Amino acid sequence: MYETTYHRPSSIDEAAALFAKGGDPKYLAGGHTLIPVMKVRLAAPSDVIDLGRIKELIGIEATADALIIKAATTYYDITQSADAKRAIPAIVHLTSVLGDPAVRYRGTIGGSLANNDPAADYPAAVLALGATLITNKRLIPAEEFFQGLFTTALADDEIITAVSFPIPAKAAYSKMRHPASRFALTGVFVAQTRAGEIRVAATGASQSGVMRVPAIEAALKANWSAAALDNVNISADGLMADIHGSSEYRANLIKVMAQRAVAEAG
């Protein structure tokens, strides 16, 4: 590798100050993206600022209306959280099928969302549940946060501190996993809010990243059941096509995964 300076700040303010002083700094969360790209020299930060030990970035809280997960909370801790299991079981299920045990012990929700991989799982939950991303500078609604492949509304020096998920009336997540990477070939998160709004988001399918699925939302608004989607046709326009599956294959997966998620949500 090359010379870089590693920092382990103990507060958000200290992390931000270190970033401001760096020549070409990068924040480190779980490290599953940054460390591999540094190894092959696709990234060469002057300073690596580790957010993983900042206590104010770790923890889970459930209120009457929301599940709040702080950004450096690991996937493993989410799967073990009684508050998360009680408030939004679909979040716990999504986390349990994310990656493998090594990934879940180290990976963090904030790191995943800041990276915004088009096949990551959490963007589907954030968008479908209408979550709010809390940073050290502002609040960002889910609809404004995701801006394309590996692109978000975050400024370079901005830190996600927590994610607030409104507690839904019903929700579930289903995905077709790549057998090696465990990323989503296509994953669909369905939610019915307490106000009765239907929100459906798909990951791993679109060329532009996580997406809402209006055709499925409309069908479920009329009849919340897996059978209501039997005659729904999802267009392949704008969907990914690669060695793992055609755009038509992913279009069909969106419907099939949505039907499985609705059946799971009940």
Mean pLDDT of successive 10-residue segments in the chain (266 residues)? 89 97 93 85 91 96 97 98 98 95 93 95 98 98 96 97 98 93 92 98 96 98 98 96 95 98 96
Exposure letters 21-47 (e unless 16+ CB within 10 A, then b): ebeebbbbbbbbbbeeebeeeebebeb
pTM of the model: 0.95
Give the neighbor-by-neighbor strand order of the sheet with 5-7: 5-7, 47-50, 25-28
CATH of domain 55-166: 3.30.465.10
Domain 170-265 is in which class? alpha beta
Where along the chain do the CATH 3.30.43.10 domains lie? 5-50
What does the alpha-carbon distance between residue 263 and residue 102 come to, in Å, rounded to a whole number? 30
Write out the two tokens for 21: 């002083």
Sole residue written with tokens 């579930």: 172
Looking at the chain, how many residues does it have?
266
The count of C-alpha atoms lying within 13 angstroms of the C-alpha of 177, restricted to the half-sphere facing its C-beta, is: 13
Q: Report how far apart, in Å, the C-alpha atoms of 133 and of each of 4, 138, 190, 232, 254 are.
A: 30, 8, 19, 32, 25
Give the pLDDT score at 210: 98
Show Cβ contacts of residue 23 under 8 Å, excluding neighbours closer than 6 positions: 46, 47
Which amino acid, 217? E
N-to-C CA span, the chain: 51
Give the pLDDT score at 255: 98
Query: Where are the strands (E) in 35-119, listed by range?
Result: 47-50, 60-62, 66-70
Give the pLDDT score at 1: 55
Write out the two tokens for 132: 């709010």
3-state secondary structure of 121: coil
Give the pLDDT score at 86: 98
Where along the chain do the CATH 3.30.465.10 domains lie? 55-166
Domain 5-50 is in which class? alpha beta
3-state secondary structure of 254: helix
Selection from 115, 118, 59, 51 nearest residue 83 by Cα: 59
Where along the chain do the CATH 3.30.390.50 domains lie? 170-265
Show Cβ contacts of residue 149 under 8 Å, excluding neighbours closer than 6 positions: 116, 118, 207, 208, 209
Give the pLDDT score at 42: 86
Under 8 Å between Cβ of 228 and 151: no
